[in-house]
Amino acid sequence: MQRREFIALIGGKDAWLAVALLLLIGLLLVGVGSYALVRHNRATQTELKSEEDRRAAEAAANRKVEEAEKQRLATEQERRARAAAEAEAKRKSEEAEQQRMVALRAAEEEGKREEAEARTRYAALISKGNADSKAGNYNRAIADYNEAIRLDSKNTLAFIGRGDAYTNKGDYERALADYTEAIRLDPKSALAVSDRGVAYANKGDYARALADFNEAILLEPKSAHAFRNRGVLYAHKGDDDRAFADFNEVIRLDPNNALAFCNRGRAKRNINDASGNADIAKARQLDPSVCR
């Protein structure tokens, strides 16, 4: 039904009131609709703002997570790089140590070989020097001992051997120097002390000679060499009892010591003891080169 028809039906003044009422109702409906629209728009905007805030917060959280992950990856990468560098440094250090040990072992082996060769050469020179000295080739013996000392200046054998050669040549000062050096190197060498006593005795310094013989016997109570040397000194001084006691001790310690029998036999002859002949015969039996 058209509006005019509706107004015509209700007619007159009331009709205009109806129209006004309709307009008012329309305005109210428009207002309510506008209010609802505004409320809807505001709600929508609020929701959009909340969504934007949520998304922004989510994005910020995601960025933090990504940054934390990047930091973790960077830290892990740095740790791995540091571990790799440490492993490489350790490998190089171990390799260098292995090379050092190989070189050290090689040097030790070379040193041992050279040391063994030097010891063999030293022993050969001592043996040759002793043979030359025994044969009366004292100068040649001294040369042998000199070479031995050049190889090893800490060993007493060459000094004692050279001292003996000098003693046999009558060069007692040099002999004393060599024996004294041997004693310095080995203060417990009864042989060096006893041989120095012989050099002192040959110089006529019997007091020092006796002191050395006594010291040698203290160092080595079973030294037949020291007892025989002291016995010779006692016999030279005319102390026959002590001489016989020392020669007897030598023979007890070394029953095949030809020189001890020779020395005791001569000492007995000096006091007209006929048993000395038996000692001399025994000495020649043991070593035909003695007591001639």
pLDDT digits (tens, 9 = 90+) for 224-235: 999 999 999 999
Q: What whole-number distance in Å separates Cα of residue 121 and Cα of residue 137?
A: 20
- DSSP string covering 89-126: HHHHHHHHHHHHHHHHHHHHHHHHHHHHHHHHHHHHHH
More confident: 172 or 70 = 172
pLDDT digits (tens, 9 = 90+) for 102-120: 776 765 776 678 788 888 9
pLDDT at 18: 67
Return the C-alpha torsion angle 142, 148, 152, 157, nearest 10: -60
- In the structure encoding, which two tokens stand for residue 204, read together? 């006529």
pLDDT digits (tens, 9 = 90+) for 185-205: 999 999 999 999 999 999 999
Cα angle vertex 165, ends 164, 166, to 5°? Answer: 90
- Single out the residue of 266, 252, 262 nearest to residue 289, CA to CA: 262
Helix (H) or strand (E) holding 255: none
**The pLDDT of residue 219 is above 70:** yes
Sign of the four-CA dihedral 217, 222, 224, 225: negative
pLDDT at 174: 98
Provide the residue type at 246 as one letter. D
What are the residue ranges spanned by the domains of the chain?
3-70, 122-286
pLDDT digits (tens, 9 = 90+) for 221-265: 999 999 999 999 999 999 999 999 999 999 999 999 999 999 999
What is 122-286's CATH topology? 1.25.40
